[in-house]
Amino acid sequence: MCRSVRKPSRSIRQYVLVSVGDPHERDLQSLQDLDGEDWGDPDDPVVAPTSLIERCLRLRRMPIGSLSTDDLRLLLHQNVGAVFLVPLALALLEGPRLDYEDETVGDGIDADDEEDLVWALWSLPDTYWSAHSEDFTRFEPWIEMVRPSSGPLVDFARRLGQRQAHWDDQVELS
């Protein structure tokens, strides 16, 4: 049986432990708590003139353990809280998959959520990946999913590969 209806996003709560530490503390904290910045009241039309800004401000105030994969995708596309959310997104990608055809209930993400998260990660600026090469290394297996032949992240991947090859050559020479 093939279902074309998109399943609701699940909470990322179980991945908080894997990615950012003690679930009793971290999954109860919001991005606002973690980065110590208050970006303003989402109900203030001057601060949040669009529904997208309002939603991002509201999500920044939610505990990260209660964010859905859709919330995570939105925040990453807007480059909001990437330093805290990329490890969570990568843990989701590395975790179990859901197969709705076998009617198994469990934690994990489905193929649609996986693709959405990959695109959200792909949209992050080169500066993020340059500063967080360990995250980039974890993300590399999914780059093929988006298969672009050019762009800032592809260029960055090539530079990173060239640097690694140069380093390997230097180690062999010594």
Is the CB of residue 124 less than 8 Å from the CB of residue 77? no
Is the CB of residue 126 less than 8 Å from the CB of residue 26? no
Other beta carbons within 10 Å of 37: 11
Q: Output the pLDDT for position 158.
A: 66
Euclidean distance between CA atoms 89 and 68, whole angstroms: 11
* Percent share of the chain, pLDDT over 70: 62
Give mean pLDDT, residues 132-146: 86
Euclidean distance between CA atoms 57 and 32, whole angstroms: 9
Q: Output the pLDDT for position 113.
A: 82
Q: How confident is the model at residue 119 (pLDDT cuts 50, 70, 90)?
A: confident
Cβ neighbors of 72 (< 8 A, separation 6 or more) are 12, 85, 88, 89, 92, 117, 120
**Residue 103 amino acid letter:** E
Q: Where are the domains of the chain?
A: 13-173
* Percent share of the chain, pLDDT over 90: 42
Q: How far is CA 155 from CA 45, 106, 149, in A?
A: 39, 38, 9
Tell me the per-residue pLDDT of 78-117, one tens digit each, with 9 for 90 and over.
999 999 999 999 998 888 766 555 444 445 677 778 888 9
Other beta carbons within 10 Å of 163: 11
Q: How confident is the model at residue 62 (pLDDT cuts 50, 70, 90)?
A: very high
- What size, in residues, is the chain? 174
Is the CB of residue 132 less than 8 Å from the CB of residue 89? no
Tell me the per-residue pLDDT of 31-48, one tens digit each, with 9 for 90 and over.
999 999 999 999 999 999
Q: Tokens 């009241």: give the residue.
A: 41
Rounded to the nearest integer, the mean pLDDT of the chain is 76
Whether the pLDDT of residue 75 is over 90: the answer is yes
Give mean pLDDT, residues 20-39: 80
